[in-house]
Structure 1
């Protein structure tokens, strides 16, 4: 077991012990606060909790996962406007939809490319869904160059066309980016003039800050409702998360 894993296990045990002790104490004392529990009762409670954890260590990672989900939900709520408000035209689907799925991606990310069919299927089947695309160029310098051109394409009303076409070309090399620009008839002079703008840098920096706040582990990462999903989780997981977000309102 690594030091990090030991730390997680210890933290998880402490979390469970505290929660269980509080619940059991309330029962023992007839609903009174933990402060009303005697030292002898507290000792008995702690012994029961410790024995349970030792007999069922599998509940520790489950409890930690629940805690992480709760923390992520709080971070999502605190940053919801920044997360769900698209940059210019960097969105697809129903603008007034009743559910919003946000994907953070990198043009150099193979798993992001792998997720494209899932996105298209969701858009085709769910007419009440809005998908917001957020640039998270963290894999290479090429990623950031492509991200800036993508933002420029969004301002020119051709985001989705650029997004899909660049992924279809493969790596976000300068040659591939220029090829897609020409293919879509984008204003290259305007792109060159805007590429280094503070507006684009602000957008990218804000996305990176949100990614850190939400504990993303890479790309793609997804936000829907109060849930955060990391990786190419697949169509079924995304659909389930969207359904859950709708259920919670």
Structure 2
């Protein structure tokens, strides 16, 4: 019997054996060395086995991550979907909810924005919740505080106006620019600016950061679609597919 065949038999026996059936502790030093060499020889001559094993491992890890995310969503469902302070858009009575953790200085949040808007328009039965999650810079924090303050002072429609303006903004976010944005839209700029650094606004951002920490969210955009998490940007078609899967 050739050495290659012996190696293959040794490896296949090791892989196919039930847990505990191959007890290396009962092997002599020489037997362990021979077994190790046999496995090494087989893998060197059949490297595709390693690729297959790595692919299987990655698939199992991805499946485990998806299940873990679903558990996180279920555990934190009330704070995700019914926090009482986040802006709700789309169809408030929609049968599927998309939640977005976003940052106004996030390039991929800006890229995702028109695609999410288009998906909501085409579908007509999706509820959207926006979670202000400023993590990238002081300008991110400034924009988020302004948006939350606008909602608290002037209501949901005003929030949507400034949210759309901020997500479409390409330059720096400054206090002067934010005040001008409020004035241009006939909002009470002084009241909004005054509100920005209050505990009421801080509490919203704190709650969002605490929720993100519990959900292991560290980047933007992060979407929750039904009970599935999408960590990062995805094109509209991919999001639509997840929505359809959530509907069963």
| Bucket of the pairwise TM-score, normalised by the shorter protein | 0.7 to 0.9
Structure 1, residues 166-210: CA drift from partner, whole Å, max 9, x if none? 223323232332222122222122213321222221211121122
For the residue of structure 1 that corresponds to 2:54, the secondary structure is: coil
- Compute the displacement of 1:88 (Å): 4.3
Report matched runs for 1:147-186 at 5 Å: 147-155=144-152, 156-157=154-155, 158-170=158-170, 171-186=172-187
Gaps of 5+ in 1: 1-20, 25-39
Equivalent position of 1:225 in the other structure:
226
Residue 116 of structure 2 is aligned to residue 115 of structure 1: no
Match of 1:11 in 2: none
SS of 1:139's equivalent in the other structure is coil
Larger Rg: 2
Tell me how large the CA RMSD over aligned residues is: 2.6
In the superposition, the TM-score normalised over structure 2's length comes to 0.75
Partner of 2:127: helix, strand, or coil?
A: strand
Structure 2 match to 1:43? 20
* 2:149–2:193 contact (8 Å) kept in structure 1: no
Q: What TM-score does the superposition give when structure 1 sets the normalisation length? A: 0.75
Aligned mates of 2:122, 2:131 — CA distance in 1: 22
Displaced runs of 4 or more, over 4 A: 86-89
Displacement after TM superposition at 1:163 (Å): 0.7
Q: Report 1:75-114 matches (<5 A).
A: 75-85=72-82, 88=85, 90-114=87-111
Cα separation, partners in 2 of 1:45 and 1:67, compared to 1, 3 Å = farther
